[in-house]
Amino acid sequence: MSEDDTLQTSVTDPNADAIVRCRDLSVTFEMDRGTSRVLNGVDIDIRRNEIIGIVGESGSGKSMLASAMLDAVVPPGITDGTITFHPEGGEQVDIFDLSEDELREFRWEEISMVFQGALSSFNPTLDIGGHFEETLEAHGFPIGSGMDRAAELLSDLYMDPERVLKSYPHELSGGMKQRALIALALILEPDVLVMDEPTAALDLLMQRSIVSLLADIRDKYDLTMLFITHDLPLVTKLADRIGVLYAFELAEVGTTEEILLNPRHPYTRALLNATPNLDAPLEDMQAIQGSAPDPVDVPSGCPYHERCPLATMECEHDKPPMEPTSTTHDVACHHWDDVDDEIPLTTEADQ
Write the pLDDT tens digit of every residue in 88-132.
Answer: 888 999 999 999 999 999 999 999 999 876 667 899 999 999 999
Task: With both helix axes pointing from N to C terminus, report the angle between 204-221 and 143-156 in degrees, rounded to the nearest 10.
Answer: 130
Of residues 327 and 349, more confidence is placed in 327
pLDDT at 52 over 90: yes
pLDDT (tens digit per residue) in 290-343? 788 899 999 999 999 999 999 999 999 999 999 999 999 999 999 999 999 999
pLDDT grade for 6, boundaries at 50, 70 and 90? very low
Segment (H or E) for 175: helix 174-185
pLDDT (tens digit per residue) in 136-163? 999 999 999 999 999 999 999 999 999 9
Q: Which of 102-111, 118-127, 255-264, 278-287 has the lowest mean pLDDT?
A: 278-287
Amino acid identity at 334? H
Domains of the chain: 1-110+190-351 (3.40.50.300), 124-189 (no CATH)
User: 37 in helix, strand or coil?
Assistant: strand
pLDDT grade for 208, boundaries at 50, 70 and 90? confident
Average pLDDT over residues 176-188: 95
The predicted pLDDT at position 15 comes to 55
Query: CA-CA distances (angstroms) from residue 323 to 52, 56, 237, 336?
Result: 19, 20, 26, 10
Q: CB–CB of 114/210 below 8 Å?
A: no
Provide the mean pLDDT of the chain.
89
d(CA 109, CA 128): 19
pLDDT at 351 over 70: no
- Strand order, beta sheet including 18-31: 34-47, 18-31, 78-85, 93-94
pLDDT at 4 over 90: no
Task: With both helix axes pointing from N to C terminus, report the angle between 143-156 and 128-138 in degrees, rounded to the nearest 10.
Answer: 130
Query: CA-CA distances (angstroms) from residue 103 to 32, 139, 146, 225, 342?
Result: 31, 12, 21, 19, 48
Average pLDDT over residues 206-224: 91
d(CA 27, CA 136): 32
Half-sphere exposure of 288 (CA within 13 A, CB side): 21
Backbone φ and ψ for 27, nearest 5 degrees, come out as: -135, 130
Cα 215 from chain centre: 14
The predicted pLDDT at position 285 comes to 59
The predicted pLDDT at position 290 comes to 78
Of residues 4 and 31, more confidence is placed in 31
Q: CB–CB of 263/243 below 8 Å?
A: no
Number of H helices, E strands in the chain: 13, 12
The predicted pLDDT at position 9 comes to 36
The predicted pLDDT at position 57 comes to 87
d(CA 213, CA 302): 38
